[in-house]
Amino acid sequence: MARYIAPDRRERSRSFARKIDAERFLSEQEAGMARGTWRDPAAGRVALADFSHRVLDESPGLAPSTRRRYRSLLEVHIIPVLGDVALADVRPEHLRGLVRHLADQGLAPKTIRHAYTLLVGLLGVAVEEGRIAAVPKPRPKPGQRSILPPVPKPRHRYLDHAEVARLAATPPIAPRYTALVYLGAYGALRWGELAALRVEHLRLLERRVEVVETTGGREPKWGSSGTVTVPAFVAEQLGRHLAAFPPGPEGLVFTSPEGRPLSYPNFYRRVWRPAVRAAGLEPPPTPHDLRHTAVALAISAGAHPKQIQELCRHRSFNTTMTIYGGLFPSLAEELAERLDDGARRAASVAGSGTRRDQDGTSVVRLEGRGRH
């Protein structure tokens, strides 16, 4: 039995089957007290499953969809592997083992990352409550950047003008959601921003759309509120939509046929997917691909990267270039061609012995010092 006096002047004790384990335990407690990082071992004896359930239940700020997603990750992927392990016993090898187990099950890298991030977040709460000293951090193997599998970059689906028009005119999107497709494809609004758009946020005579909220009354992703200037054609489509489908009591521009706020699962299943099939779009785009399409169409029309940042309402220019930088390959070619033209003109003038003065007058250089 290992006995020691804790910083709260109370005696603590714990039994071990081997003397060496008791001595190691005492050494850990003494080192923690010396560094000021000591934690009551009894506080960390709670099982990870019990602790995690309590933390989720006591987190009122979570959106219902987020809470459901966290609980699913916890019940399906984390608890079956580590649920019986006490918080104080969680080691880096446990986290590495979880990642390996989920990968062996064939889960997508993104799902593995979500489960791992949730577990690390829960252990962070345990640190805040004084149950454990620190969150275990498994080191990657030599040559690896992370113990987590890399997430492949998503392949965006970009529609051209004709495909956008065909989709907007295809039932069951047409006629109720024709303006939604055009606004997404030329205004770069996200799905949640389209579903939460209200009449008070439209300034159609100025061709302006104010993006101030997303579904659930939340602020847009990454705080990307702002005003979008849309083509006159899109403003006209919005005007026709409001005349044909007046907004409901909440002032929402786009609603279900019953006048209720749009639900993504219902919209995708009942409206989007049938219309995409009927329009013959392959590979099939998602509603979020309308935003990517808006960027691609703007770039094809000659938009500068800074204009794309304003269109997407990204706070950081780096974010814009990270997501859409691959759509700008022609910029380097155009720049090289302009520089080539300038260099050739200058070389041609120099070779002919003629240059132009600042006022555009041709000046012939003659042989001899000081004679021009």
Give the CATH number of domain 48-128; options: 1.10.357, 1.10.150, 3.30.519, 2.30.42: 1.10.150
Residue 298 corresponds to which amino acid?
A: A
Higher pLDDT, 255 or 66: 255
pLDDT digits (tens, 9 = 90+) for 336-361: 777 888 888 888 877 665 555 555 54
Higher pLDDT, 91 or 369: 91
Which residues pair with residue 354 across a beta bridge?
Answer: 364
Torsion-angle region of 313 (φ positive above 0: left; ψ -120 to 50: alpha; else: beta): left
pLDDT digits (tens, 9 = 90+) for 195-236: 999 999 999 999 999 999 988 778 887 667 889 999 999 999
pLDDT digits (tens, 9 = 90+) for 32-62: 888 877 878 788 889 999 999 999 999 887 8
Per the listing, tokens 């919005």 go with 238
Residue 344 corresponds to which amino acid?
A: R
Higher pLDDT, 325 or 115: 115
Over the chain, what is the mean pLDDT? 88
Is the dihedral angle over the CA atoms 310, 316, 320, 323 positive or is it negative?
Answer: negative
- Verdict on whether the full-model pTM lies above 0.85: no
Whether residue 366 has pLDDT greater than 50: no
Band (pLDDT 50/70/90 cuts) for residue 316 is: confident
Tell me whether domains 48-128 and 161-327 share a fold.
Answer: no
Domain ranges of the chain: 2-38, 48-128, 161-327, 337-364
Residue 332 phi/psi, 5-degree rounding, is -65, -40
Q: Is 61 exposed, middle or buried (0-12, 13-18, 19+ CB in 10 A)?
A: exposed
Per the listing, tokens 């986290």 go with 95
CATH topology of domain 161-327: hpI Integrase; Chain A (1.10.443)
**What is the percentage of the chain residues whose pLDDT exceeds 70?**
91
Q: How far apart are CA 56 and CA 314, in angstroms?
A: 31
Whether residue 287 has pLDDT greater than 60: yes
Which residue blocks in the chain are alpha helix, DSSP H?
Answer: 19-35, 48-57, 64-73, 79-82, 92-104, 109-128, 161-168, 178-187, 191-195, 232-244, 264-267, 273-279, 289-300, 305-312, 317-324, 329-351
